[in-house]
Amino acid sequence: MDRDMTLDEFDTDEIELNSELFSDLKPVSGVTWINDEDNDETELGFHRVNSDQIIYQTKKKRFKMIGKYVMGDMLGEGSYAKVKEMLDTDTLCRRAVKILKKRKLRRIPNGEE
């Protein structure tokens, strides 16, 4: 639990050390920032847009190539495998591929050899 410390709780050696370190510092009166003249929203590099003007788009998924085939959407899923659509890039014929789960394949007799 944080609480504010009072001046009485500081060690006197610490106070003396701090006063010696910071005794020669003078307060900064006027700070001039770079490009401070007429600093408005247009010069900051950002501009406000109403939320009704924003067009939300989902990011397009990159395609996955396996050999000469392009992997498509999932057609189905079972306990042992998934079935996905594949497109042959040479003939543009659609195919289906069954992707077996290796861990489940071990449970089938003669499944993994």
Q: Is it the case that residue 90 has pLDDT exceeding 90?
A: yes
Q: To which H or E segment does residue 66 belong?
A: strand 64-66
pTM above 0.95, yes or no: no
81-88/69-77 β-pairing: antiparallel
Q: Comparing C-alpha atoms, which of 100, 53, 93, 35 is closest to residue 69?
A: 93
13 pLDDT higher than 70: no
Domain count, the chain: 1
Per the annotation, binding residues for ATP are 98
Q: Using an 8 Å Cβ cutoff, are 73 and 96 in contact? A: no
| Interval 18-70: pLDDT, tens | 666 666 666 666 666 666 565 554 455 677 888 888 888 888 778 889 999 99
Half-sphere exposure of 37 (CA within 13 A, CB side): 0
Kindly state the tokens that stand for 65: 């190539």
* Residue 57 belongs to some domain of the structure: no
Q: What is the pLDDT of residues 92-108, one digit of tens each?
A: 999 999 988 777 777 77
> For position 96, what pLDDT does the model report?
94
pLDDT score recorded for residue 53: 84
In a domain, 113, yes or no: yes
- Domain assignment present for residue 40? The answer is no
What is the CATH classification number for the domain harbouring 77?
3.30.200.20
Alpha-carbon distance of 69 to 2, in angstroms, equals 62
Residue positions counted in the chain: 113
Whether 12 shows a pLDDT value over 90: the answer reads no
Q: Is residue 30 part of a domain?
A: no
The answer to whether position 89 is within a domain reads yes
**Residue 68 sits in which domain range?**
64-113
